[in-house]
Chains A and B, each alone.
Chain A
């Protein structure tokens, strides 16, 4: 099966109808397979960056499942999100090893720095914050991930440096895209 990354935190700059067409192809490919719902949802989240209602409706019709069943599955798994995420997804590990080595303090510092709570996105849509239960990087505790990069032995006094490095990259990228458009 395809394992398109669904952790992608950026909303791709492709319009919705193109994405829905791509989703239709995926649905068609998986329609006959048993247990297709979760893989399809994972791919859909990879396409859209989150799971908008229109995509869920398309999936429910395409796989011949009731909308409530699809929504139930989406709500059950923490991996799925029905709200748009920021360009960068910050996940703080609160697994046991990270916890005993100061993961909680790191989380507090990031919350203060970004001014948002867990599960929220900054008003400028640059960062979303989540907590995770162990990336399996326990030897490097405390760990955080930003998008797919793992940062090890994070110190709460240094989180602003990590966050700001992504802020700079994202701003530069946004500026470049704006220039290209005009």
Chain B
């Protein structure tokens, strides 16, 4: 049998021939983004429309394919048109009507439609060729040459998301074109498990799920266990509200996760891998299933993979809606078919995990980094980032920021650069109030902390944490007490109930917060919250409980005045806490235009045209829409 790497390269060659014939040699190549968020924004209709247009005009040299998400959530659906030797043009917020216009002009006549395209500031690559896209260059270098959107992508470094939005996630051949599976073959043929573990350790890669534990050390621990049966698990139970990078990675580039797992499995000696994924992500599950099936068919999964002596296969397990299952010991219980309750560590899963066997659990993003570490080398990888945090981190930037979406920046980039640089600042000219990182386990950091670099230690020292990478920007319109209450409501609801501090403590903290936000707060509540928080932090069984008071403690630390206004003055400075608000109409100012009445969702506003309107306080849900609708400032919020 010939050498596995040669076989892989042969396969890549035939993939290239096929792709050139079917896709890339076309005069015009059109790609439509098709992740969950793009589909929600209307991508399927746009795709159908392009398909229809190609058919209608009988065009033979125009091809159409789907790609994953590029991370420009606020501009979706995105349609990219590649034509030979010119920079690809990205059209944003497409609709079937708009895409027809683009098609008529750009595809048929060769004239790009400037006003529908993404504003392209900065440097443009004027000599774009498909070859550049597939060159054997460093895996991360490919991105900006495809996406001229320099003011968004130029500040980023796409490592985990290197192929998202570039390749068709449902076509394994395209993954092969971007050096896919070469890392796996290299590991299986040229390296011993020890070499792999050492390489990963040397790279300084740390767990991207939030814990930040060294991946190499974890693998080494599992490798050292003498046991015939070991398991490797990919944690795709992305439960943090506000985090969607794992979903996007799997939807945009599922094979990289599979490849990372193959390498991890070989390194620790596991022949079976599980992907534990949320049932709420149907598209990601589908793409992963397609990818696993394709890999199996190619002999990349199963017995004697890649023609070597190694066996490895992957099974998908669906989560059933329990946040705590993101915690590794709870996740193990869930795969075993039990209630997902954590247990005390040690023993760590690397010693005794799934069915009592040594088990390594890594996050999606961690696995996606593994091929980069192997192919581009640990030295290069560790040259990026800070002294203790290496590589990049993907953040799901959302909330009141201009450019919502997925951003990937080198570790050590400051929060300010992410929010104002990549994120483009605050929406609608409002004032920045806080940035929340780390999901329900993290904290809210105010303006004065914006120069904190994003790495594990700095964020923890600032009172927040890296977490899985949700980053929610909060502006002056949000009440920090309410935000803290929101997170507590979440953790309290998701507490599995096994240990008392978390089960009872979060409940009591939530009650106090509810009291404060409804205007019944009393002196001493803040101190009580801090004392309870401290106890829960120190005595809870798992990460969920230990981190649950963080949002409260950090908001008290940085926004104590807001708590005090609620408690002492019975006032919500941001005008959010409904219990402290009333909406009423000032008779002198109301002209009876009916704008508020039309907007009222309940509806509880009465009044004839041109007469003074009135709000029925008993039925008012305090949504504030009348307040926004009134052009005459006749609605009073107090």
* A73 touching B339 in the complex, CB below 8 Å, given contacts A94-B241, A137-B36, A152-B40: yes
A173 sits at the interface (CB 8 A): no
Complex contact B244–A138 (CB within 8 A): yes
Complex contact B243–A73 (CB within 8 A): no
A19 sits at the interface (CB 8 A): no
**Chain A neighbourhood of B398, CB < 8 A:** 96-97, 138-139, 141
Complex contact A105–B624 (CB within 8 A): yes
Contact residue among A3, A80, A96, A152 (Cβ-Cβ distance under 8 Å from B41): A152
A10 sits at the interface (CB 8 A): no
Complex contact B240–A134 (CB within 8 A): yes
- State A37–B103 Cα separation when bound (angstroms): 51
Which residue of chain B has the shortest Cβ distance to A143 in the bound complex? B40
- Distance of A24 from chain B, by nearest CB (Å): 19
- Distance of B141 from chain A, by nearest CB (Å): 26
**Chain A neighbourhood of B625, CB < 8 A:** 105, 156-157
B49 sits at the interface (CB 8 A): no
Complex contact A159–B601 (CB within 8 A): yes
* A136 touching B37 in the complex, CB below 8 Å, given contacts A97-B242, A100-B399: yes
Contact residue among B242, B320, B400 (Cβ-Cβ distance under 8 Å from A38): B320
**Chain B neighbourhood of A78, CB < 8 A:** 320-322
**Chain B neighbourhood of A73, CB < 8 A:** 337-339
Pick the most buried of B285, B396, B398, B623: most chain A CB atoms within 10 A of its CB: B398
- Distance of A170 from chain B, by nearest CB (Å): 21
**Chain B neighbourhood of A108, CB < 8 A:** 601, 621, 623
B202 sits at the interface (CB 8 A): no
A83 sits at the interface (CB 8 A): no
Please provide the chain A residues from 72 to 110 with a CB less than 8 Å away from any CB of chain B in the complex. 72-73, 76-80, 94-97, 99-101, 105, 108-109
B253-296 CB mask vs A (1 if < 8 Å, else 0) is 00000000000000000000000000111100110010000000
- Distance of A118 from chain B, by nearest CB (Å): 11
Contact residue among A100, A133, A140, A148 (Cβ-Cβ distance under 8 Å from B37): A140
Which residue of chain B has the shortest Cβ distance to A34 in the bound complex? B355
A67 sits at the interface (CB 8 A): no
Contact residue among A34, A97, A132, A133 (Cβ-Cβ distance under 8 Å from B472): A97
- State A34–B242 Cα separation when bound (angstroms): 33
Complex contact B337–A138 (CB within 8 A): no
- Distance of A38 from chain B, by nearest CB (Å): 5
Complex contact B339–A97 (CB within 8 A): no
**Chain B neighbourhood of A5, CB < 8 A:** 282
Complex contact A136–B317 (CB within 8 A): no
- State A149–B44 Cα separation when bound (angstroms): 12
Which residue of chain B has the shortest Cβ distance to A149 in the bound complex? B40
Contact residue among A77, A96, A105 (Cβ-Cβ distance under 8 Å from B340): A77
- Distance of B596 from chain A, by nearest CB (Å): 11
Please provide the chain B residues from 385 to 423 with a CB less than 8 Å away from any CB of chain A in the complex. 396, 398-400, 404-405
Complex contact B317–A38 (CB within 8 A): yes
* A96 touching B399 in the complex, CB below 8 Å, given contacts A76-B340, A134-B240, A135-B280: yes
Contact residue among B74, B280, B601 (Cβ-Cβ distance under 8 Å from A109): B601
Complex contact B336–A35 (CB within 8 A): yes
- State A148–B220 Cα separation when bound (angstroms): 42
Complex contact A134–B242 (CB within 8 A): yes
Which residue of chain B has the shortest Cβ distance to A96 in the bound complex? B242
- State A41–B621 Cα separation when bound (angstroms): 39
Pick the most buried of B336, B601, B621: most chain A CB atoms within 10 A of its CB: B601
Which residue of chain B has the shortest Cβ distance to A91 in the bound complex? B280
Complex contact A133–B339 (CB within 8 A): no
Complex contact A39–B601 (CB within 8 A): no
- Distance of A73 from chain B, by nearest CB (Å): 6
- Distance of B528 from chain A, by nearest CB (Å): 25
B358 sits at the interface (CB 8 A): no
**Chain A neighbourhood of B623, CB < 8 A:** 105, 108-109, 156
Please provide the chain B residues from 473 to 518 with a CB less than 8 Å away from any CB of chain A in the complex. 474, 478, 483, 486-487, 490, 494, 496
Complex contact B241–A95 (CB within 8 A): yes
Complex contact B316–A76 (CB within 8 A): no
Complex contact B339–A76 (CB within 8 A): yes
B4-36 CB mask vs A (1 if < 8 Å, else 0) is 000000000000000000000000000000001
Please provide the chain B residues from 302 to 324 with a CB less than 8 Å away from any CB of chain A in the complex. 315-323
A112 sits at the interface (CB 8 A): yes
- Distance of A33 from chain B, by nearest CB (Å): 9
Please provide the chain A residues from 147 to 161 with a CB less than 8 Å away from any CB of chain B in the complex. 148-152, 156-157, 159-160
A128 sits at the interface (CB 8 A): no
Pick the most buried of B399, B436, B439, B494: most chain A CB atoms within 10 A of its CB: B399
A121 sits at the interface (CB 8 A): no
Pick the most buried of B40, B240, B321, B400: most chain A CB atoms within 10 A of its CB: B40
- State A121–B363 Cα separation when bound (angstroms): 37
- Distance of B439 from chain A, by nearest CB (Å): 7
- Distance of B232 from chain A, by nearest CB (Å): 16
Complex contact A1–B315 (CB within 8 A): yes
- Distance of A41 from chain B, by nearest CB (Å): 7
Complex contact B73–A139 (CB within 8 A): yes
Please provide the chain A residues from 39 to 89 with a CB less than 8 Å away from any CB of chain B in the complex. 39, 41-42, 72-73, 76-80
**Chain A neighbourhood of B238, CB < 8 A:** 136
A36 sits at the interface (CB 8 A): yes
Complex contact B242–A140 (CB within 8 A): no
A12 sits at the interface (CB 8 A): no
- State A157–B597 Cα separation when bound (angstroms): 11
B174 sits at the interface (CB 8 A): no
- State A157–B602 Cα separation when bound (angstroms): 9
Instruction: List 28 contacting pairs A-B, 8 Å CB cutoff, sorted by A.
Output: A3-B286, A3-B318, A39-B318, A39-B337, A42-B320, A77-B321, A77-B340, A78-B320, A78-B322, A79-B319, A96-B241, A96-B472, A97-B404, A99-B483, A100-B474, A101-B399, A108-B601, A133-B490, A134-B242, A137-B37, A138-B472, A139-B73, A139-B74, A139-B404, A141-B399, A150-B39, A156-B625, A159-B601
Closest 4 CB pairs of A and B: A139-B73, A136-B244, A95-B241, A150-B40
Q: Which residues of B contact A (CB under 8 A)?
A: 36-37, 39-41, 73-74, 76, 238-244, 247-248, 279-282, 285-286, 289, 315-323, 334-340, 355, 396, 398-400, 404-405, 436, 439, 470, 472, 474, 478, 483, 486-487, 490, 494, 496, 599-602, 621, 623-625
